[in-house]
A and B are shown apart, each in its own frame.
Chain A
């Protein structure tokens, strides 16, 4: 495998984790346009732990995920007041604030970025990506997921049958933030250099795009979406200067033809049945 393809594969793994972080929050009916903020928090905490404190990458990732999850819970509470597009715009503001915060954090390099991380292998990234994906797929078979779906479909009704909608929505924010932080930590140790600009609005949108394009009703949708998002521009290289325009056209076409995403429940079931037979 060439370094070029290894780099692309690493990007797919990191984007899959980012997509899953949006997917978990979206499962409770909340759209977050600020997950790059959590990713940035994860990237900076992990890098601080490994470079400045000399910790190994795995415990550093766990600590960063826990810290970011806590911040996610703190953000999740005020988010309860907002719905739909208003929540989306508030999270967008949160993401931009985090980016701006790191821009001002001169202890971590500020606008000139931070480096010194040790490079990690593609295999390690995929270990995390598949691990988290499996956990999410197990979660999808659990009672908690049914409760999340209930809150997604009708929050009032879910509350009336005795579900704690507040805990479910805030918990989803925390879990999503933790997954985004892992994605950020891996990103930092794959590129071995981070700057606040890495974690801006475009990154948040990429996460959402991966989920919506791949399919927002099943966990592996994030993986499918990430594959498409990373690989499609590569296959369009023959178009040279018009590559991105073609990408935009294909993006709109997919949304128009399959608004539920490439992978939906019925397709997923068919594929997994064939695999079992």
Chain B
């Protein structure tokens, strides 16, 4: 029973990790909260759903959703973020919220407001290991997450583009003085963040959730909490915090009742903000936020 809950929590945590990484790529590098990420995730779920219904193989569906969400992320960057880069942080946050409203409305008009759900037939089968039963779907969710995070880690840590990304995150002005194109780095951050959100959408759509135009808000807010708990200055914090919150959530539902779930998650987030603002994995450098 306990082990089973652990597995379920890890699966949920895997999805949280992806969306938290999506938030933290933009937040850690540019210092803005892109609220439309919740809707990129929702769109990813719809893209994936459409592709799977059209009998496309799963990897193709995943790739299509990632590409689609990344494209929308580019539009958001060009229209809602770039012109407001020098405004107080609340302004770009609200303009991304404008995109949230638009994307929700578009999704409602395209796919309807009735909840959609994929059947188990997409990927049947279960794996039983002693007392624990893992569905193939759960394995796929966790496997894809690990692969995606590994690829992201490689891009950020080992490639020249990733080095530029980290340089701008460290100090935008100095990075620009040294010849890093801040515009290109910004674009890259938004693209990577769109890719992560899109993938998370497909995975959660396949795993258990029903897909609705408004599914992004709830999970998006949770992912912000995961990002904060993991630490916003180091994107890897989400790797620890995602599974942690996933397990905490599943455990509170199993042993404390589903109603206290959100209370626990957000309480943990506030506690971390007050006691360890740099997050679980953050270094000694505690980031001083910009003035509002």
List A residues at the B interface (Cβ < 8 Å).
Answer: 26, 29-31, 78, 81-90, 92-94, 96-97, 99-101, 103-104, 110-111, 152, 201-202, 205, 208-209, 212-213, 241-245, 247-249, 251-252, 255-256, 259
Contact = CB atoms under 8 A, between A and B. Distances in A.
Contacts of A248: 98-102, 105
B128 interface: no
B31 to A, nearest CB: 7
Interface size for chain B: under 10, 10 to 19, 20 to 34, or 35 or more residues?
35 or more
Interface string B268-286: 0110011001000000000
B107 to A, nearest CB: 10
B291 interface: yes
Interface of B: 27, 31-33, 79-80, 83-84, 87, 89-91, 94-95, 97-102, 104-106, 108-109, 217, 221, 224-225, 228, 232, 259-263, 266-267, 269-270, 273-274, 277, 287-292
Given A86-B273, A86-B287, A100 B27 contact: no
B270 A249 contact: no
B273 A93 contact: yes
Given A83-B291, A93-B266, A252-B95, A31 B90 contact: yes
Given A93-B273, A96-B266, A97-B270, 4 more contacts: A83-B289, A97-B263, A104-B260, A242-B109
Contact of B101 (A92, A111, A245): A245
Contacts, number: 145
Nearest to A247: B101
B79 A252 contact: yes
Contacts of B108: 241
A259 B228 CA distance: 28
Q: What 9 A-B pairs have minimum CB-CB distances, sorted nearest first? A: A84-B289, A248-B101, A248-B102, A83-B289, A252-B98, A245-B105, A244-B105, A93-B266, A100-B263
Contact of B290 (A84, A104, A201, A252): A84
A100 B95 contact: no
Q: Is the interface of B mostly helix, strand, loop or mixed?
A: helix
Nearest to A200: B217
Nearest to B102: A248
Nearest to B221: A201
A248 B221 CA distance: 20
Given A242-B105, A259-B84, A85 B267 contact: no
21 contacts: A29-B291, A31-B292, A81-B274, A85-B27, A86-B273, A89-B228, A90-B274, A94-B270, A96-B221, A97-B270, A201-B221, A208-B94, A244-B104, A245-B101, A245-B102, A248-B102, A248-B105, A251-B95, A252-B95, A256-B83, A256-B95
Contact of A92 (B97, B100, B221, B274): B221
Contacts of B79: 252
- By CB atoms of chain A within 10 A, which of B80, B83, B91, B273 has the most? B273
Given A212-B91, A248-B102, A82 B277 contact: yes
A88 B98 contact: no
A103 B259 contact: yes
A255 B98 contact: yes
A249 B79 CA distance: 10
Given A31-B90, A93-B269, A99 B292 contact: no
Given A83-B289, A241-B109, A252-B99, A259 B263 contact: no
Contact of A85 (B89, B109, B221, B225): B89
B292 A84 contact: yes
A82 B288 CA distance: 8
B91 A259 contact: yes
Contact of B224 (A89, A97, A244): A89
B273 A89 contact: yes
Contacts of A96: 221, 262, 266
A100 B102 contact: no
Given A85-B290, A89-B228, A90-B273, A245 B27 contact: no
Contacts of A244: 101-102, 104-105
Given A92-B221, A99-B262, A85 B31 contact: yes
Nearest to B278: A86
A78 B274 contact: yes
Contacts of A103: 259, 262
B259 A255 contact: no
B95 A255 contact: yes
A252 B221 CA distance: 22
A242 B134 CA distance: 43
Nearest to A250: B98
A90 B104 contact: no
Contacts of A205: 94, 97
Nearest to B262: A100
A160 to B, nearest CB: 17
A16 B87 CA distance: 24
A26 B292 contact: yes
B291 A82 contact: no
A78 B271 CA distance: 10
Nearest to A261: B91
Given A83-B291, A84-B89, A249-B98, A93 B84 contact: no
Contacts of B217: 201-202
Contacts of B109: 241-242, 245
